[in-house]
Structure 1
Amino acid sequence: MTQIPLINGQRHSWSSIEVNVLDRIVTGVTAISYDDSQVKENHYGSGDMPVFRGRGKYEAKASMTLYNYEVEAIQQALPKGKRLQDIPIFDVKVSFLDDASSDVVTHVIRNCEFKTNKRDMKQGDTKIEVQLDLIVSHIEWN
């Protein structure tokens, strides 16, 4: 496939990312991290080369960092006495625009729940960011 050269050298960038949590676009997200892996091992028989490959469990991980005002807004929407960790299972959609083709790419982090709710602030900070770890079932890569 022939690709058109990029005029400004840009493809996907942070400025084209849109994060949707609990059916709402989150503008105060400063980082999102997600990955998946699967255990794979070579198994040996006679000789020194593997005779087959075994596959084990699949695991997905995710976390996001939000400005404190976003986290506080989510907490304010909860019934009194509920915590972030009490929010029922939800999906997180991460979409970004391919500037070269105008195609929107969407990854869906499935069956998320918040595992943590922690604040970490220090003298000299000009903003409060909150890193929230998630438990997830799997990731759909577009």
Structure 2
Amino acid sequence: MAINGRNYDWEDISVQLPHGESVGITEIKYGDEQGIEARYGKGSIPRGFGRKNYSASGSMVLDRDEWERLKKELARDNGDIYGHKPFPIVVHYANDDMGSVTDVLKNCKVTKFDGGGGSQGDDKVASITCEFTILSPISWNGTPAKAEVKSYMS
């Protein structure tokens, strides 16, 4: 099999958080879904389907210094971490061999922080895992997962 160039790797990703470009992020994951449920009538074969609600969520792992910057920005609105306004996260992939890709996670709300501490011998002490709910459809490189309905968040 021929090698056709370099694919995206961690070095090709940049992440924009409310306080600016993140340099202390070691992982980001996100996804969305909209399930369906088969609808039955007479017999045992589905006659059609109904759509369930769309949902999107994600997580990221931050070094302690990056967490401190994010925490300060989130608490700016009303003084606490979970009372923040929804914010966007922009994930950009780019390298010389492949095209530029930008995913936009609009209206994110932090739902959980986990981590801190460490033990003797750890080389990565006090990293913080941040989970978030994405309240608007993800824009996958310019293609929305769902058409947005105008709401108070638009």
Common fold: TM-score over 0.5: yes
Q: Give TM class, smaller chain.
A: 0.7 to 0.9
Name which of 29, 46, 50 aligns with 2:25. Answer: 29
Determine the C-alpha separation between the residues in 2 that align with 1:131 and 1:107.
20
For residues 42-121 of structure 1, the aligned pairs below 5 Å read 42-76=38-72, 78-79=75-76, 82-97=79-94, 99-101=96-98, 103-121=99-117
Alignment RMSD: 2.3
Q: CA deviation at 1:76?
A: 4.2
Determine the C-alpha separation between the residues in 2 that align with 1:12 and 1:29.
17
Counterpart for residue 134 of structure 1? 132
Determine the C-alpha separation between the residues in 2 that align with 1:98 and 1:6.
16
Change (3 A) 1:6 1:100: farther
Q: CA deviation at 1:134?
A: 1.0
TM-score by length of 2: 0.76
The unaligned stretches of length 5 or more in structure 1 are none
TM-score by length of 1: 0.82
Determine the C-alpha separation between the residues in 2 that align with 1:140 and 1:39.
18
Q: Identity over aligned residues, as a percent?
A: 27
Structure having the higher strand fraction is 1
Detail structure 1 runs of 4+ shifted over 6 Å in the superposition. Answer: none
- Is residue 125 of structure 1 aligned with residue 122 of structure 2? yes
Counterpart for residue 15 of structure 2? 19
